[in-house]
Amino acid sequence: MSVTAAGDGPWLDDAAGRLVRPFTVSNGRTRPTVALDLMSQVRATGSTPLGYLGPEHAQALDLCRAPVPVAEVAAHLGLPVAVTKVLLADLVDCGALTDRPPAFHHNPTDRALLEAVLDGLRRQL
């Protein structure tokens, strides 16, 4: 069994994968204090956060030097979206990140759009 650490990242095992449960990263919290959508854009403000930040907070902050969607941050961190939202909300609360809701140029519940998506999915099957 080979256990390695990727920088300050989570402990990994070659065979087992992540050795720290994802919700341990957020201290068991499952609800963010800020309403974040999967497509919400988050960006670092440049101010230094006060208090202790875990390695995942630091990694998330590093990923947010340019505006990036919440879903992309979760993918890069390899964490569930619920955990990522809690981490990002912590960073917004301490002033290290700003968030912006997604800008839709169309109605996301437009029936014609949803039917087009459904047709495309059916063609893939």
The model's pLDDT over 45-64, given as tens digits with 9 standing for 90+, comes to 988 887 778 888 889 999 99
Gap between the Cα atoms of 70 and 60, Å rounded: 10
Gap between the Cα atoms of 53 and 51, Å rounded: 7
Is residue 36 pLDDT above 60, yes or no? yes
What's this model's pTM, rounded to 2 decimal places? 0.65
- pLDDT value at residue 88: 93
Minimal CA–CA distance to 59: which of 25, 36, 30, 82? Answer: 25
Question: pLDDT, tens digit, for every residue of 49-107?
Answer: 877 788 888 899 999 999 999 999 999 998 888 889 999 999 999 899 999 887 766 66
Residue 112 structure tokens: 């014609």
Gap between the Cα atoms of 118 and 97, Å rounded: 36
Residue 78 burial (10 A CB sphere; 0-12, 13-18, 19+): middle
Beta bridge partners of 42: 68, 99
* DSSP H or E stretch at residue 97: strand 97-100
